[in-house]
Amino acid sequence: MLERVTLREVWDVAKDVKAFRFDKKLEFRAGQFIMVWLPRVGEKPFSLAWNDTIVVKRVGPFTGRLFELREGDYIWIRGPYGRGFEPKGERIALVGGGIGIPPLYAFAKQHRNRFERITLIYGARSRDELALMDIENYVDEVVITTDDGSAGRRGFPTEVLAERKGEFDQAYACGPEPMLKAVLRIMNYKNVQISAERYMKCGIGVCGSCNLGKYLVCRDGPVFDGFQLRGLL
């Protein structure tokens, strides 16, 4: 059921990336998503960065309209939906790319006292696209990569994971699909959880638009164990 909520805060996070905090706190597990509806525009899914916050990259008409909203404006939401991350292991890697940071941010914040050590390995195209928020408060180490070398190490987060995989007993990843495929290969589909993306319409497993092999991402995911995705990603 759609519920109208008021935007309490809207702020810039990175280039073409904004955070939207609304006036309702949701019970959720990191990795779950909500559907956001705007009148006369449509409805889109967004991972929760916290129980009252989404972080959005402007990429098309829907997000363009969302970026026009200010504090005091309304959006309509339903959810949370889907399967979130399961905390496992003691020394973990969070591997993120682009706008894949929100569910990893939520996971670190929810479980910062559960793990012995949390390392974030996060990549973006350039310095001005790093959407870190204040995740350094919830992890023990942040390793940054950029495609152009303007911040951190030049290269990709998967290169760091490949070099250091022996340090981690579990990896969690969210980002562009080529990056996710590389994470799965590096981890040999073991001890890894992936947040997958597919086009979603209903968000509740009815329409079938988000199928990934035998799975529906909205219902069976968006978080999957690595072994579930062997041969699919």
Strand blocks (E) in 82-218: 91-97, 117-124, 141-146, 153-154, 170-174, 192-195, 211-212, 215-216
Query: Residue 21 — pLDDT band, cuts 50, 70, 90?
Result: very high
CATH label of the domain that carries residue 112: 3.40.50.80
Q: What pLDDT is stored for residue 88 in this prediction?
A: 95
The Cα–Cα gap between 128 and 97 comes to 14
Same domain, 157 and 117: yes
Looking at the structure, do residues 11 and 57 belong to the same domain, yes or no?
Answer: yes
Considering the domain architecture, whether residues 110 and 50 belong to the same structural domain is answered as no
State the pLDDT at residue 204: 73
Same domain, 107 and 183: yes
pLDDT for 16: 95
Residues 133 and 184 both lie in one domain: yes
- Domain containing residue 73: 3-81
What confidence score (pLDDT) does residue 66 get?
97
Position 205 pLDDT exceeds 80: no
The pLDDT of residue 219 is 87
pTM, entire model: 0.95
Q: What is the DSSP string of 1-41?
A: --EEEEEEEEEEEETTEEEEEES-PPP--TT-EEEEEETTT
Using the 8-state DSSP alphabet, how is residue 129 labeled? G
Q: How many domains would you assign to the chain?
A: 2
Taking only the tens place, the pLDDT of each residue in 89-132 is 999 999 999 899 999 999 999 999 999 999 999 999 999 999 98
The whole-number average pLDDT for the span 221-230 is 92
With bands split at pLDDT 50, 70 and 90, how would you rate the model's confidence at 232? confident
